A and B are shown apart, each in its own frame.
Chain A
Amino acid sequence: MGFEGIGASVRRREDLRFLSGRGTYTDDINRPNQAYAVILRSPHAHARIRGIDTSRARSAPGVIAVFTGADMAAEKIGGLPCGWQVKNKDGTPMAEPPHPVLAVGKVRHVGDPVAVVIAESKAQARDAAERIAVDWEVLPAAATMEAALKPGAPLVHDDVPGNLCYDWHLGDKAAVEAAFAKAHKIARLELTNNRLIPNAMEPRCAVGEYDPATGDYTLWTTSQNPHVIRLLMGAFVLNIPEHKLRVVAPDVGGGFGSKIYHYAEEAIVTWAAGKLKRPVKWTADRTESFMSDAHGRDHVTKAELALDDQGRFLALRVRTLANMGAYLSTFAPCVPTYLYATLLAGVYTTPAIYAEVKAVFTNTVPVDAYRGAGRPEATFLLERLVDIAALEMGMDRVEIRRRNFIPKDAFPYQTPVALQYDSGDYHRTLDEALEASAWATFEQRRAEAARRGKLRGIGISTYIEACGIAPSAVVGSLGARAGLYEVANIRVNPTGSITVFTGTHSHGQGHETTFAQLVADRFGVPMSQVEIVHGDTAKVPFGMGTYGSRSLAVGGSAIVKAADKIIAKAKRIAAHLLEASVDDIEFKDGMFRVAGTDRAKALAEISLAAYVPHNYPIEELEPGLEETAFYDPKNFTFPAGCHICEVEIDPETGEVEVVNFTAVDDVGRVINPMIVEGQVQGGVAQGIGQALLETCVYDEAGQLVSGSMMDYTLPRADDLPDIRVGTAVTMCTHNPLGVKGCGEVGAIGAPPAVIGAVVDALRDYGVRHIDMPATPQKIWRIIQAGRQRLAAE
C-alpha cells in the first residue's frame, strides 16, 4: 500500500466496475414485469392542440395504456416546479407560468411531451406512438429572444406579456454613471454567448415502480441529486409523501448540470407505474436528449468598461438578455442573475458595477445551468472586454490585468456585486501560467508559424468563479426555495470498518475514491476500510446533490463534521476503557492514546466496545458509533486561475488548431491531484468545444436544426490538444478542508482564452472580437474581408 492520504493520486476504485462492464446505469436496471414508455413529442415549436385521438395507438399490439395531458390534469397532477424565484427591479416576482408534465392545450417547443404510450416492449410502444393523431393548429413561433421581444410577438405563455420572465438588476447605477462621466476611455463590446446542448454521454432514463402491498414508490433515475428529485416530484407533482417515495440515482453517465433538474419523464413513469401496478421504464434516445435535456448559456449582452488614463477599471455596465426557453427549468432563473452578475467583478478591483438582466421566454427547450452556469457567461464577457480595453489603451493584455488585480493582501475582499472573496493570489497563478506556457517567447513561435503559412495567436484569461454553493440563508434571501447545505452520515461498524453515506452524487467525479481518501486520512485507517455510499434516498439520510462544484467543499465538509463527532464520542469511550480522563485522550493515526503513555486503543477496539457494550459508560453514552452531520457553508468558495491558449489558423480554410493549452488553477487544497487534473482537462475540453465547435441552432420556425450528433459538433479526440494543468493553491478560509472546487473551472476559464488567441492570430485583419463558436467559415470570411480591405488601401 503506497501513500493514499490527502494529496495522493490514488487510482480510482470505481474504475474496475466501469472497465469490466459491471457498472449499473439506470438503463441497465430491469424490473420484473416491466413495461416500456415512449413519449410522443411535439414536432412544432408552438401549436395549439385541437384534439388528440389515441384510439389507434391503444389498439396497437402490445399496448397497455396511452396517457395525455388531460389524463394527468384529471388526476390533479401538478406542474413541474421551479426552485428559484427572482424578483423584478420593482420588487414584484418573476412571471412563473405553469409547466405541465404532459402538454395541456398547447405545446411550446419542439420536443414538448404530448402523450405517453406504455407497451410490453419499447419497439411496440414506439410503433404505437406513431399511430396517435394530434389535430394541430400551428402557431407562429418566437424562436429567438430577438423575435420574442418584438412588439406583437407570438406569446409563449398567453398570460406573460412581452414574453418577459423578469427584468432584474444588481449594483449601483448612479455610481456607475458618475464613473463613466469622468472616464478617460470606454471599451465597448456586444456579444452572444452561444447556446449549448450538454450531451452527457448517457442519455436520460427513468424506471418507476409501485408496490401495491405497501404503497411505496421507487424511481431509478439519471440524476445528480436524488433527494431533490424526491422532494420536487413527491411534494409538488405527484403528491407522494417522502416516506413512501424512494429515488435512486445509480451509476450516472455524466451530468454537467443537465441531470440536476426534475424532468417530466420521471413523473410520468412513477405515476404510470402506480396506475398500472407495473414497473415502467423510459430511456431517451439521443434525438430526445437534444430536444428535452435543458440547454445551457444563450445570452446576448452589451457591456461597457470605463477606464482612467492609467488603464485602471473605473466602472462596468452590462445589459444582458437571457433565454429561459419555453418553461422555467428547476434552477433556470438564478443562472443569469445570482450566478452571473455577481461574478462581474472578476479578479479585478472595479469599484462600481451595474448589471441589468432581462429573462425571456422563447419557443425553445428550457435553458438551465450547464457546467459553469452563469460564471462562464460572466467570465467570457469580462475577459473579452479586458482584451478590448487593452487594445483601446494600447496596453499589453497581461499588464492591464496585473494593474487591476485584487492584491493578495486585500482578502477578505468585498466586491461591489455582493460576493466577498475569502482568498486568492491572482499574480501567482498568472505568473505560473505565463512561465508554463512560455508566453515571453511567443513572438518567435508566431514568426515560425508565419513561415509555414499559418497565423498563430495567443490568448489569456484570468478568471474567478463562485462555487461550493451555498449558504442557505443567503440563497434563501435571493429567492432559492431550498437550503443548500450537505449531509453526511458516518457509521463505524462493530469491527472498525467505516461506511460513509453522502448526500452528494458522483457521476464521473470519483467521489468514491476522493471521499474515501479523506475519511481514511481523518481516521488514520487504510482506504480499504472505508466505503462510500451515495445516490439512494433509502440509504442516505438527506442531501442536496452534486452541482456547482459543491461536493467536496460542502459535502466533504459535512463528512469532516460527522467524523469529528465520531472522534469526540470515541474519545469518551476510550477514556472509559483506559480509565483516564477524556481530556487526556489523544487521537492520532487510528489510535486513541492516553497522552504521554503507551496505553492506547485502536478505533476497532472502540467500535467493538460501542456495539458490544459490556464494559461501557452506559449511564453517560448511548451505545453505537454512528453520527450524522448537516453542514451549511459559510460562504461560496472562489477558485481562480489563469488559462493560456495558443492557436494556429490555416488562412486558406479558416480552420483553427489549438496547439497549446495551459491552465494554472487555484482550486484550494487538492485531495487527489490525478482526479483534479482530469476534472480540469474535461472542463477545458468543454470550454474549447464552446469556443470553436458547439452551438445550438434553431431556425425561424423554431425547429432544432442542430438536433443530432451529426449536426451538433461535440469535440472529438482530434479536435483537442494535450491540456497542461497545474495548480497554485491558496486555502479556502471558511471550510474545514480549505478546498474550493475544480469541476467547472475549465469550462469557465477556457473560452475567452481560446477566442483571445483566435482574435490575436487575426490581428492583421482588423478584428476585435469573434463570437463563439469561431468556426472555419466565420474565420475564413474575416480573412477574406480583411484581405479585400487591405488590397483596397
Chain B
Amino acid sequence: MPKVSLTVNGKPVTVEVENRTLLVEMLREQLRLTGTHVGCDTSQCGACVVHVNGASVKSCTILAVQCEGADVLTIEGLASPDGTLHPMQEAFREYHALQCGFCTPGMVMSAIDLVQRNPQGLSDREIREGLEGNLCRCTGYHNIVRAIAAAQLVMHGKAKELPRAAE
C-alpha cells in the first residue's frame, strides 16, 4: 500500500493508505481526527471541509495520496495550543451559529477561508453566497451569517474584540 507523508495540524505524519482512500477517511479512520465529518456522498454538504495548503477543500473529494507533502488543517488544529479559540469559533458560540454541531467543523473551516479570501469585507448577501457549498439543517443560516459577519471584523483587524450578540 502507498505511504503518504504530510503535515496535519502542524505535526508531520506518515500514513499507509489504499489508493482509493479519501483524505477524510484517512483523517477520521487512521488519524482518529473525528472532528471532520461526512454528511453526504456527492460533495454537496461541506461537513468534511478542511484546509489543504491554506485553502478550503472538501476532504471527501480528494484522495489521501494527492496530499503528499501537503499542510492540512482540521477543526482540531484551529484553536491556539493554550485553548484560545479562533475568532470564527468564538463567533459561532457567541452568535448561536450551531445547534447539532455536525455541519459546524466544515462550516467554520469554509467560513475562515471565505473571510481570508475577502480582505475587503463581505456583505451578508456575499456571506450567504459564499456558503453555497455548506449545508446546515438546524439553524436556517441566520445566526451563521451573523457570526461570520462579526468574526470578519476581528480577523481583518477592524475590531479588537468580537462584537457581542444582542441579548
Contact = CB atoms under 8 A, between A and B. Distances in A.
Interface in A1-46: 9, 11-12, 14-25, 27-28, 30
B90 to A, nearest CB: 8
B93 A15 contact: yes
A203 B39 contact: yes
A200 interface: yes
B89 A19 contact: yes
A716 interface: yes
A22 B76 CA distance: 8
Contacts of A18: 98, 101, 104-105
A202 interface: yes
B40 interface: yes
A230 B131 CA distance: 39
B42 A723 contact: no
Given A20-B89, A253-B101, A28 B131 contact: no
A508 B100 contact: yes
Interface stretch (A525-533, A621-629, A679-687): A679-687
B92 to A, nearest CB: 6
B82 interface: no
A86 interface: no
A16 B42 CA distance: 29
A28 B34 contact: yes
Interface string B112-154: 0000000000001101110110111111111111000000000
Contacts of A20: 35, 75-76, 78-79, 85, 89
A286 interface: yes
Contacts of A717: 127-129, 131-132, 134, 136, 141, 144-145
Nearest to B124: A722
A686 B104 CA distance: 18
Interface in A697-729: 708-710, 714-718, 720, 722-723
Interface in B13-33: 18, 20, 28, 32-33
Contacts of A251: 100-101
A740 interface: no
Contacts of A17: 101
Nearest to B99: A508
B96 A11 contact: yes
Nearest to B141: A717
Contact of A254 (B79, B102, B105, B129): B102
Contacts of B56: none
B35 A23 contact: yes
Contacts of B89: 19-20
Nearest to B32: A30
Interface in A254-291: 254, 256, 285-287
Contacts of A15: 92-93, 98, 101
B36 interface: yes
Q: Counting chain A CB atoms within 10 Å of each CB, which of B36, B100, B143 scores highest?
A: B100
B132 A723 contact: no
Contacts of A287: 41
Nearest to A20: B79
B100 A685 contact: no
Given A20-B76, A21-B33, A675-B96, A201 B140 contact: no
A682 B143 CA distance: 10
A790 interface: no
Contacts of A30: 32
A25 B128 CA distance: 27
Given A18-B101, A19-B108, A200-B100, A716 B131 contact: yes
Contacts of B108: 19
Interface string B68-110: 0000001110110000010001001110101111111100100
A113 to B, nearest CB: 18
Main secondary structure of the interface of B (DSSP, over half): loop
Nearest to A680: B140
A14 B101 contact: yes
Contact of B18 (A123, A681, A685, A716): A123
B134 to A, nearest CB: 8
A201 B131 contact: no
B135 A716 contact: yes
Interface residues of B, number: 58
Given A21-B105, A25-B102, A682-B139, A201 B39 contact: yes
A116 to B, nearest CB: 19
Contacts, number: 183
A714 B139 contact: no
Contact of A256 (B42, B102, B137, B167): B137
Interface string A66-109: 00000000000000000000000000000000000000000000
A19 B104 contact: yes
Contacts of A21: 33-36, 74-76, 105
A199 B102 CA distance: 12
A507 interface: yes
A510 interface: yes
A206 to B, nearest CB: 16
A438 interface: no
B159 interface: no
Given A19-B93, A21-B36, A286-B42, A681 B139 contact: yes
Contacts of A123: 18, 20
Nearest to B167: A9
A717 B105 CA distance: 16
Contact of A203 (B35, B38, B165): B38
A17 B93 CA distance: 11
B37 interface: yes
B47 interface: yes
Contacts of B28: 27-28
Contact of B100 (A507, A686, A714, A715): A507
Contacts of B128: 717-718, 720
A342 to B, nearest CB: 28
A138 interface: no
B45 interface: yes
Contact of A716 (B34, B75, B132, B142): B132
A101 to B, nearest CB: 24
A739 to B, nearest CB: 19
Contacts of B99: 254, 508-510, 678-679, 682
Contact of A201 (B18, B34, B36, B136): B136
Given A25-B37, A286-B42, A710-B44, A16 B93 contact: yes
B30 to A, nearest CB: 11
A681 B141 CA distance: 8
A12 B142 contact: no
B140 A723 contact: yes
Contacts of A256: 137
A681 B143 contact: yes
Contacts of A450: none
A360 to B, nearest CB: 28
Interface in A739-792: 746
B45 to A, nearest CB: 6
Contacts of B35: 20-23
Nearest to A510: B99
A41 to B, nearest CB: 14
Contacts of B139: 678, 681-682, 685
Choose among B33, B85, B141 the residue with the greatest number of A CB atoms under 10 Å from its CB: B141
18 contacts: A18-B105, A19-B98, A20-B76, A21-B34, A21-B76, A21-B105, A23-B101, A24-B34, A25-B37, A27-B38, A28-B34, A201-B45, A202-B39, A715-B141, A716-B135, A717-B132, A717-B134, A723-B142
**What 7 A-B pairs are tightest by C-beta distance, nearest first?**
A21-B35, A253-B102, A18-B101, A685-B140, A508-B100, A508-B99, A709-B44
Given A19-B93, A201-B138, A508-B100, 12 more contacts: A9-B165, A23-B102, A200-B100, A251-B101, A253-B39, A286-B39, A286-B41, A678-B96, A709-B44, A714-B135, A716-B131, A716-B141
Interface of A: 9, 11-12, 14-25, 27-28, 30, 123, 199-203, 251-254, 256, 285-287, 507-510, 673-675, 677-679, 681-686, 708-710, 714-718, 720, 722-723, 746
